[in-house]
Structure 1
């Protein structure tokens, strides 16, 4: 079969061979040395499993038809497959079946002429013994059952005489799978086994013979119900503009929620667990501080970490999670650009946030950012799910998963909850609205077409302000707001997403209370004191509110600013330890008599000056806690302006998107790979052929040769060749599992390796002795 398979590959045109490599990109990693290596790799279990994972349900059913119609010598034909799929009357159109057969031939799961098709190696191993849900042939199960199945009249009489309970068991097994298990066999089951209609495989398993399964399927057909077309999704029920608006509204919410979560993390940095990740209680505290449901907080912490907005910082005591330096830059960007960062990180991160809170195989809770939540296939799963959503269509999650289960049944079956989880996360993050995919998310979900022969996509290094998703989203979001509304209770309402400068000012002069379509802040005495500490004067605050407010500034806010500015800086601190001075002698006397400050050991040096042994920082904190409003000053008497100190971890790059093996396989590159393989194949065929024993040991076609040289004999030959410095043919298995042979001159044997020179290429090769299958001295 190997030679036949390789010869079929050699017969392909360059374009057809390039198409095969693009459809099965794992075959070119690394590039095969020749057609023999390519043929061997294409028939390995791993490669076949990969290509089968991408087949739709009907193509898999036609592959089962090919396996079922094989003759004893392993051949089938396109006509036999079409005839089997047409039973019973009303089956799929022959053109549809022939199209599926052609796809299998293109992928080299079937190969050969139409009248002598063969199934590629490893297909039976991957798909299993139970073809199309049918059991094994009776002669492979039991002699008495085989004798019964050889007499169709006896079989029909046995079925007609079977009681309803027994017939129900047989019909259920005929639908597939053909194997049933039991703990204690019932009388019905014992009767079927005794009549040889079922075969007992072991003490808890029975199997329905293939011949009986085919007979019971006479109404549905040998393959059972076929599915030539995918389930239909409902027609578009909403305008795409409505879907986009709904999703864009969720975008504004999720960006605000992500920022609130990071701010909560900055205020109370959680420690990194010894095994990695964030503990259950710290995550719960973060969720409560950010006013988020715990599952959403877990999802967002995974995303912001993947985006590089949060990172670890190692302190002298422990390692903690903190916002990274990249977070400050992210906050200054537009809502659309910030969302694009989060969305890209979600699509690319190889983690499954839905696992957080569940138990692992050792019955331990899976925590946020823990290694146990890593899933390498998560990025592919997310993109495949979102790509299945047609424009304007808003199916239910269950309907979409049903369609996905037809397109890639081997990936979806048994993992439906994962796909439902992806759709739920996509809705939370603003990828979808009303269940439909937003148009601005398409550039992220659908890969770019390469724009140059090297396969580099046009968006690889595109700045964020040119990201097509961010540009399209920005057109749907309200423009940034530069003004706010002040209410009588001193709440400040920003009627839309605040412009970056406005947000920075409000974060300093007011306390954030809530977000959404409108962002709400509240001005308090503490927030005004924070602004005064940062360098604002009373006149600056009056000017800010008058300039930014669409409504008249309430009188209460004017009084509050004046009162805060009047008392602020009335006391000055310095180093003594520390000193305290004021032009107001009465205020100094009040501080000196205040029992709450007795621990500072204040002492009067002059009517307007007090000193203490405590440091200036402690004096400043104690005075503020006691309700005073001091200002620090330096050695020259100038007021020291301060802003809240931000702790940041070292910036870390966001997670890289998963490598798409097909992205770089452009037509020029594929043709170059094909040319390289053909040159290698020509060179290997031109070289002298290895002796029969070596070719037999490496799986080569040798008629009439059944014995291969034993491994111990091969080692003896190699040791003799080292002593005699003679050439030897070595058969071995390479690092990719392919068998090969090479004519070399052994140099040394030791530490489990053979080192030998190839005179033809003037290179030194190293062979693991455990991979050597044969060795024969060269006689020429």
Structure 2
């Protein structure tokens, strides 16, 4: 029977050890040296706390029962004792055994049914009062111990308590069993405080200047109706949520999804016209957020949410950080995104929201240094944000379709699923924000999870569970079509390829436009709402600037409009196109100016200067696409004597400055990433970790059985270093001839003395090659690092 966690882990089969590592991946980050180190890490305070944070309320209650039923002599309990105590609280044995199995799988409890052990770190992390019960009266006070030793007297004393004192008892009996009062209530004999009455009658025991504790026996008496453990919670709370029609939920969510895709596209268009500068500390400032919100007609929180989601979906990015001030503008994938179907556009945004580590709800709040948190800044990143969103939506997904629970109902279920984590105020706010953001993005409608939102949530979770080792070459068939996209496509109106042009030059789109039509409308008209555009002189000029001709625009409106094209639109296009191009602007790298027209004509006709591309703008002015420095060099090489001038026409005659390289730091800086950060524990990786632990543990345990002469740094006692080395070589040669095993002591690369039981295979060229049969590995030892060698049969 194992007596330590290390022995228990060694006795586990490989599949069970791999399952433990999969449940607690922090145990192998990095991989420990052996199973003893794994056991120490599994009992550490940080690892135990992280594991307890993932347990539901009932499993934590069963863990408290294990703590309560431990015997002081052996510090162990039994499954029978746990079942007996929970039965007094009217809980069936089945759920209790399932909770014990979960605790065993997580290595928080180990051992056989008659002797269950609790890992050491649990008592350090959990409350010192399991199940809300205080310490026995014998550990607190002699008078209290005398009182509780007589059950009849104890009941009479409790019944005689005044109402105010009884209320204090009931409050402490529910847990925790300690409370604080004013110091005078405990020190003043004349005090009429109910706590003073309880202390005088030994129902409460002072444990400090202003702190009292309720003995365990008194709590058990007060809990006689609910059981010694108080009310247990083997199942999550039932939610009585109103049920909506699934079709109504889906339609409401689909309408919101259309708006989200449209507003995200509008935000990107505004950023394309005027990119938002990035603050030095990162993120986009409050003024820019307000500008974007005004330009798109959104509230600032919604604009911040869509900016974060579009950034997480890869539709927005930063540019110019290396050469100048960084700005936020549409990314390269935005143009490809906007020509996809509406359902695909929404799915990309919603998937980015589910997976992103930022919390848009924190935008506008203040940090610890009283600074505003801007949008797109690193200060609003939270590692647990994706998990909080999926936990909140998971509660909705666990309910029947159409169920619309309130935020309080969702919080109650989450508090049962992970009470230690949800009890934190930040986590609770994160779940509430997740529900609000899901409604804004169209994942929910009328407070219920939509059918396509349910499908998208399942697809995201399935993608995270996908085993990359299943297709290491990446040659499998393409991913199946998204059910969420198909479901949303069926809800959205069919895309239209036509418009209705009105006499007031407005263009009405009777439905969501197809990608080609949407691209044309964005070019030739200005959007006024989701389905109404207006043709203006500026929009016509914008189309002409991109290469359209007047005939092209007439053809476009004639082909797309189901109504006759108004004459006013035809006149507008013709009028703008007639004036288009009347003035032309171009670029010139440099110019030549002089009062001698003949000299300029000579330069223009000089064939040696033909490569400069000179053109005459006036009798005394020539221009070239090349910079003035190149003009000067070419003219001087051809025998002319030009001089540069500034913007005022004055000659610039200065001594040239010698070129210098750009300044650089004396010590280059680089980012060092954790090689194991984000590593996924796939089945193949788990099997490799288990095999590595087994081998290293066998090697460490074998080394502990090595002879003392091999383990000691000085080698064999009574011999000098040279004599010990010569003797070791003789032993190795004998073992090589007889093919026997031998203990080898050697100094590793870190200067530490190690030992290993091996079978020599060859020895030469300054190296010994030997096989470790326990680990089935071939090792190479430098002969000059070998300190001792002892045959296996000669070892004790």
Q: TM-score, normalised by structure 1?
A: 0.74
Is contact 2:344-2:485 (8 Å) kept? yes
Q: Which moved more, 1:136-145 or 1:390-399?
A: 136-145
SS state at 1:544 partner: helix
Is the counterpart of residue 76 in structure 1 residue 77 in structure 2? Answer: yes
Q: Give 1:225 shift.
A: 0.6
Aligned equivalents of 2:587, 2:16: Cα separation in 1 = 83
Is contact 2:261-2:346 (8 Å) kept? yes
Aligned equivalents of 1:346, 1:284: Cα separation in 2 = 22
Equivalent position of 1:703 in the other structure: none
Is contact 2:22-2:681 (8 Å) kept? no
SS state at 1:112 partner: strand
Is the counterpart of residue 758 in structure 1 residue 765 in structure 2? Answer: no
Equivalent position of 1:522 in the other structure: 534
Aligned equivalents of 1:426, 1:142: Cα separation in 2 = 56
Higher RCO (CA 8 Å, separation ≥ 6 residues): 1
| Count of residue pairs the alignment pairs up | 648
Is contact 1:79-1:115 (8 Å) kept? yes
Is contact 1:277-1:368 (8 Å) kept? yes
Equivalent position of 2:61 in the other structure: 61
**Residue in structure 2 matching 1:217, options 198, 220, 223:** 223
Is the counterpart of residue 564 in structure 1 residue 583 in structure 2? Answer: no
Aligned equivalents of 1:407, 1:175: Cα separation in 2 = 21
* Structure 1: gaps spanning 5 or more residues: 579-604, 617-657, 696-713, 728-741, 749-753, 765-778
Alignment RMSD (CA, Å): 4.1
Aligned equivalents of 1:198, 1:46: Cα separation in 2 = 34
Q: Give 1:255 shift.
A: 1.0
Show CA shifts across 1:472-530 (max 9, x none). 43343333322111222211122222222212211121111122xxx221111221122
Equivalent position of 1:394 in the other structure: 404
Equivalent position of 1:650 in the other structure: none
In structure 2, the CA distance between the partners of 1:198 and 1:261, relative to structure 1 (3 Å rule), is farther
In structure 2, the CA distance between the partners of 1:548 and 1:119, relative to structure 1 (3 Å rule), is same
**Residue in structure 2 matching 1:544, options 528, 532, 556:** 556
| Correspondences of 1:82-161 after superposition (within 5 Å) | 82-88=83-89, 91-161=90-160
Equivalent position of 2:259 in the other structure: 253
Is the counterpart of residue 17 in structure 1 residue 31 in structure 2? Answer: no
Q: Give 1:332 shift.
A: 2.4
Is contact 1:575-1:615 (8 Å) kept? no
| Correspondences of 1:135-284 after superposition (within 5 Å) | 135-182=134-181, 187-234=193-240, 237-284=243-290
Equivalent position of 1:310 in the other structure: 316
Show CA shifts across 1:207-227 (max 9, x none). 323232222212111111111
Is the counterpart of residue 8 in structure 1 residue 8 in structure 2? Answer: yes
**Residue in structure 1 matching 2:697, options 681, 689, 692:** 681
**Residue in structure 1 matching 2:415, options 392, 405, 413:** 405
Aligned equivalents of 2:368, 2:566: Cα separation in 1 = 61
Is the counterpart of residue 384 in structure 1 residue 403 in structure 2? Answer: no
SS state at 2:217 partner: helix
Is contact 1:353-1:368 (8 Å) kept? yes
Is the counterpart of residue 419 in structure 1 residue 431 in structure 2? Answer: yes
| Correspondences of 1:728-739 after superposition (within 5 Å) | none
Q: Which moved more, 1:360-369 or 1:148-157?
A: 148-157
In structure 2, the CA distance between the partners of 1:275 and 1:204, relative to structure 1 (3 Å rule), is farther
SS state at 1:305 partner: helix
Aligned equivalents of 1:101, 1:527: Cα separation in 2 = 70
Show CA shifts across 1:98-153 (max 9, x none). 22223323333222221221222211112121101222334444455445444544
**Residue in structure 2 matching 1:512, options 508, 513, 527:** 527
Show CA shifts across 1:254-312 (max 9, x none). 11111122222333333222222222222122111111111111111112222232222
Show CA shifts across 1:624-672 (max 9, x none). xxxxxxxxxxxxxxxxxxxxxxxxxxxxxxxxxx9887x6433x65455
**Structure exhibiting the larger radius of gyration computed from Cα positions:** 2
SS state at 1:501 partner: helix
Show CA shifts across 1:722-754 (max 9, x none). x98999xxxxxxxxxxxxxx9976799xxxxx7
Is contact 1:492-1:523 (8 Å) kept? yes
